[in-house]
Chain A
Amino acid sequence: MNSMVFGRYLPVDSFVHRLDPRLKIGALLALLITVFFDAGFLGYALIGLFVVVALILTKIPAKMVVQAVKPMLIMLLFLSVFNLIFLHTGKLVAKVGPLSIYSGAIFQTIYISIRLVLIVSLTTILTASTKPLDMTLGLEHLLSPLKVIKFPVHEVAMMISIALRFIPTLVEEAQRIMKAQASRGVDFNEGTFKEKVFAIVSLIIPLFISAFQKADDLANAMESRNYNPEARRTRYHQLHWRLADSFVLGLIVLLCGTIIVMSIVL
């Protein structure tokens, strides 16, 4: 668990780090949708080039990308095997015993792999370059039009930011409890089914108790400061839209537009 890198903030200063979180969230959404438009290999090459440049600009080490993609490999393998066995479009390429492999299946598999790698890389760029609190602030801004239909934008943003804030705390807590129980002879890796159940119980119960305790403390702290979600509040931390943001926005509109047009025309 120590080496979990997917979704973690990378504390460096870079061009992408300085971009407005509203832009980054919006761009991620637009790009994620665009990835599913099939504009052939040329389209993916375009997005791929964009992603590589963005990764370099975010100063994300190649190692970190590899580690983020690694957990997806099993899923990828699974999908590929299913595709190769069951998808029968295109030309027959090879026949291995009872198995016939078609060109359509091969292309489909390659497409899926490319899409997954792109999706993971794009998400990593957002999470690595945006502090959780900036992320919720950006989200709150983007959702604020929904206030018109009485959607509790502020409350939802607050909930998300608290949840994000506590993920690392809970992961740390879980590691601590696992170590404490391992010191009492619990083996989290091996053992019979019954032993495994016991091991999990010895982790889950203290973890829940501590999570509830923390939630309670936080609620008390907020109440004693008279927190009221409906109160009008100003912000210490303001978002600033800069020229670079407009430039990147233009670039992304151009990229997504091109690919969508390509996919329709082709």
Chain B
Amino acid sequence: MSITFKNVDFIYSPDTPFSYHALKGVDLDIPEGSFTALIGHTGSGKSTLIQHINALLLPSSGEVRVDDFIITATDKPSVLKPLRQKAGLVFQFPEYQLFEETIARDIMFGPVNFGMPEDEARAVAAKTLEMVGLNDTYMERSPFEISGGQKRRVAIAGILAMDPDILVLDEPTAGLDPQGAKEMLRLFKSLQKSGKTIIMVSHDMNQVLEYCDHVVVMNKGRIERNCSIDELFKEKDYLSSLSIDLPVITAFINDLNSQGFHLDHDIKDIETLVKAIGGELHE
């Protein structure tokens, strides 16, 4: 399930006075099985880019390859329908897509659309509902009478129920409480460990450091970096030119090192950091 962009350009409303060139010469390889972060300013083209992965948008020129699917400007959307099951896309604020009478029916909606029999889909719905941290008493409740955070979980379950090999998430934790955000991210991490490729748009560098292993930086419709997390956070000046803050831990390590410590840049969690500091103090 590899994803490759080859010289992709995308123009919104071409040939009108309102046209907007949103992607410019995008070349990109997303490693299979990675947890890739997509970062960049608002308006840099992140949401536009990810909608190419399940062919909601077709490139104006260039081509996108997802596994055996080749997506070009002239493809018919109906030919690409099976791709939508393989690459599940969770939009920003996906709670607005809920519409069924019960939560169970809403989660089943995707799998049934892709041809799964109803009873099987119901079992899958129960399983995914549990994965997102809601017990089965929620199955028969209306999706409109639960809290915003719970709606988000149900909407994400609706995509997970399709069992996609690639999971694309557009700012999945925006507006969630820290505890809820953590639970969601742990779920995505465990899905990666089970072999799925995860692509996540995020503005929170602490999340990126803790959960992702690969990062793509977009700026004004172009890809500016495509590297590992460790490499990106070494580029202090570049990040500050984009006014992206370093993760708290990395910033702290930098501060300590400028005061004479020799800590490893790649440390990602507090426990390791505490041990490393303790070790240096002992010497």
Contact = CB atoms under 8 A, between A and B. Distances in A.
Instruction: Verify that A and B bind, or say they do not.
Output: yes
Interface of A: 2-3, 5, 8, 10, 12, 61, 63-64, 67, 173, 176-177, 179-187, 189-190, 201-202, 205-206, 209-210
B77 interface: yes
A183 B56 contact: yes
A173 B96 CA distance: 9
B110 interface: yes
A113 B168 CA distance: 49
B238 interface: no
Contact of B114 (A10, A177, A185): A185
* Top-4 shortest CB links A-B: A185-B113, A184-B110, A205-B99, A180-B97
Interface of B: 12-13, 15-18, 51, 54, 56, 77-78, 81, 84-85, 88-89, 91, 94, 96-99, 109-110, 113-114, 144, 158-159, 162
A182 B17 contact: no
A16 to B, nearest CB: 15
B84 A183 contact: yes
B78 A3 contact: no
B279 to A, nearest CB: 48
16 contacts: A2-B12, A3-B13, A5-B16, A5-B17, A5-B18, A63-B15, A177-B97, A179-B51, A180-B91, A181-B97, A182-B56, A187-B78, A187-B81, A202-B99, A206-B96, A209-B144
Contacts of A64: 16-17
Nearest to A188: B77
A42 to B, nearest CB: 33
A2 B91 CA distance: 19
A210 B93 CA distance: 12
A184 B162 contact: yes
Contact of B89 (A2, A12, A183, A209): A183
Contact of B18 (A8, A176, A180, A183): A8
Contacts of A8: 18
A184 B94 contact: no
Contact of B91 (A12, A176, A186, A189): A176
A215 to B, nearest CB: 15
A183 B88 contact: yes
B158 A184 contact: yes
Contact of B113 (A180, A184, A210): A184
A180 B90 CA distance: 8
A179 B56 CA distance: 7
Contacts of B159: 183-184
A84 B110 CA distance: 50
B81 A10 contact: no
A174 B110 CA distance: 19
Contacts of B97: 177, 180-181, 184, 206
B91 A179 contact: yes
Contacts of A201: 99
